[in-house]
Structure formats: C-alpha cells, structure tokens
Amino acid sequence: MFITSIDQLHRYSHLHPGFKKAGNFFMLADLQALADGRHEVDGDAVYALVSTCEGKGQDARLEAHRRYIDVQYCLSGKDMIGFRALAQCVTAAGAYDEVNDVVFFEDSVCEWINLEGYDCAVFFPDDVHAPLAGDGPCRKIVLKIRV
C-alpha cells in the first residue's frame, strides 16, 4: 500500500505498466463530469469505477482482491480507509468471491488513512482495506489495474 498524488502515478510504472495508464486517465479525463458506473481505460486490464455514496462509518468491511490493484481517489467529500496487511488477517468473513474478485475479513483495522485532495491510495492484492469508513457523502473513483 502506498499514498501518492494522482499526478504522480505514472512514476510507479516500473512496478506495473498499468500505473502509467492510470496516471494518464486521471490527468486527461474530466473527472468531475464522469457519470457513476464503469469507465473503460484499457478494457479489463485497467478500468475506473465511479460512485457516489454515503460513508459506512464503523460498518466498513475489510476486503482484499486477488486479480486487481485498487487505486482509490476521492473526488469530493472525504474518504477514510482502514488498512491491514493480508498476512496479518486471520478471520475471513466467507469464501473468496471469484466473480467480484473480493474476500472480506472480520479482523480489525490497524491503520487509518484520510483520503482527500489530490491524494490517492494504492492497494495491492496483499493489502486488505476498508474503504468508505468515514461519515458523510463521498464521490470517488476506484481505478482497477489487473495484476
């Protein structure tokens, strides 16, 4: 997991070439004009999910993905995201959902991240995260990069 600004994502292309495409998307797209839903960047290799929702507060669940890196960016409002390393998780809250590429955990969060402004949080498959843990409205983009 790491935090960076959306205009610096391209600098991480040595970790994965999808970061360059992600950075280009954030810099070239009119982010505020994007409708809620899925937006293609590079087919299933890189795509964006835009959503407007209320924070879940304490009901936010830890989750992990096997096939995608998450780049989480808050367009408006504030997002608080919980974090815990996958290796530290003990209690899954069910089986891995292959279709939706997600597994949830009952474990507690060990670190909190406040996401606002130009910052984005990047979560790899071994980074368990609890998005939308803040209170109040949030409009965000989760850019998915296939590993």
Q: pLDDT of 45-84, one tens digit each?
A: 999 999 999 999 888 999 999 999 999 999 999 899 999 9
Residue 116 confidence (pLDDT)? 83
Sequence-separated contacts (24+) of 29-35 with Cβ below 8 Å: 31/75, 31/141, 32/75, 34/141
- Per-residue model confidence (pLDDT) at position 54: 94
- Nearest in space to 83 (alpha carbons), one of 146, 131, 136: 131
E-strand stretches of 55-118: 62-64, 68-77, 79-85, 103-105, 111-115
Average pLDDT score over residue span 106-130:
94
User: How many angstroms from the chain centroid is the CA of residue 39?
Assistant: 15
3-state secondary structure of 9: helix
- pLDDT at residue 124 greater than cutoff 90: yes
Sign of CA dihedral 67, 145, 6, 51: negative
Model confidence pLDDT, tens digit, residues 85-116: 999 999 999 999 999 999 999 999 999 999 98
The pLDDT assigned to 42 comes to 96
| Domain range 2-146, CATH class | mainly beta
Is the pLDDT at 118 greater than 90, yes or no? no
Write down the mean pLDDT value for the chain: 95
32 — phi, psi (to 5°)?
-70, -25
In this prediction, residues 109-137 reach a mean pLDDT of 94
Domain spans, the chain = 2-146
